[in-house]
Amino acid sequence: MLKYTLPALILLGGLGAQTEVIILSDNVGAEIDEHESRFYRIFPEEKGLIDAQIVRINENKYRILVVKNVDGKITKVRRYIDQDEFNTLKQYVDGQPRFTEEEKIAMYEGMDFLRAEKIVNEIPKPQFVVLKHSGKKKLKGTLFKVDENVLHIQTPTTVEMVSLNNLDKLSYRTSIGEYEYLRPYIYGASGVTGLALARLYNAQRPTLYNDFGIPRNDLIRYTQLFGIVIGLIFSSEVFDAVSTLLTPAETIILSEAEYENQKFK
């Protein structure tokens, strides 16, 4: 019996050694969570990381077991590194400061992408916005609706729809300033502009006469009145646009990739 037991114990001991969980650094635990990974940038390419463990396979090879949240689903992946890569990573983490609660608070202050859905849904609408999405694309227009995490942007020619998942950076206004005192001036300026355009139109068209050879000045006055009315119709939109432009804009980063680019470029 003993001759079978002893080899079995040796075999189990060998298997245990092959699955030894390695602590990368005194700065992190045996299980590296998302906060530690983000602070020390241990696994910056692993998007949606929940936690990770490093397991020694043999003297020169390690397996990294990563648990991730990908599109709401828990996924487990394996990565492999050699001894040199492990040593480089260990030296890098060892050289960083301790991850304290104060450091954690400071780290998350600029990470608006972690609450992107809440921010986008609370933006006052409609309003003019400038956004960067899908890596490099830039879009300007009026944000008038957010539906199921899709932003609807009215541009001069079409309505563009951008998924929140593809949004990198957004410039917007948290509120529209109170510029009610400007309303009479803007309404007046809009009416005068409409009148000026009507006069320009009248000056460029030939004079019309009635059957008795008398100039149709009534048509001239009608065109001028029509121009004033059109100017007043658009005065409300002009007032909203001016109020928006006079209100300081705020730019937020809404993707971790963009955050990394801005912080470490």
Q: Please, which pLDDT band fits residue 265 given cuts at 50, 70 and 90?
A: low
How many C-beta neighbours within 10 Å does residue 239 have? 19
For 26-37, what is each residue's pLDDT tens digit? 999 899 998 899
Q: Residue 184: enclosing H or E segment and its boundaries? A: helix 183-204
For 1-15, what is each residue's pLDDT tens digit? 444 444 444 444 444
For 63-112, what is each residue's pLDDT tens digit? 999 999 887 789 999 999 999 999 999 999 999 999 998 888 887 776 77
**Minimal CA–CA distance to 128: which of 247, 235, 236?**
247
Judged against a pLDDT cut of 90, whether residue 183 lies above it is answered with no
Mean pLDDT score across all residues of the chain: 82
> Dihedral of CA 98/102/104/110: which sign?
negative
What would the two tokens of residue 212 be? Answer: 């008795």
Judged against a pLDDT cut of 80, whether residue 51 lies above it is answered with yes
Average pLDDT for 156-166: 87
Would you kindly state where each structural domain of the chain is located, as residue ranges? 2-108, 112-176+247-264, 180-246
Contacts 24+ apart (CB under 8 A), 186-189: 186/235, 186/238, 186/239, 186/242, 187/232, 187/235, 187/239
More confident site: 250 or 97: 97
Q: What CATH number does domain 112-176+247-264 carry, 2.30.30, 2.60.40, 2.40.70, 3.30.530?
A: 2.30.30
Average pLDDT for 173-182: 78
Lowest mean pLDDT among 12-16, 169-173, 194-198: 12-16
Average pLDDT for 140-161: 88
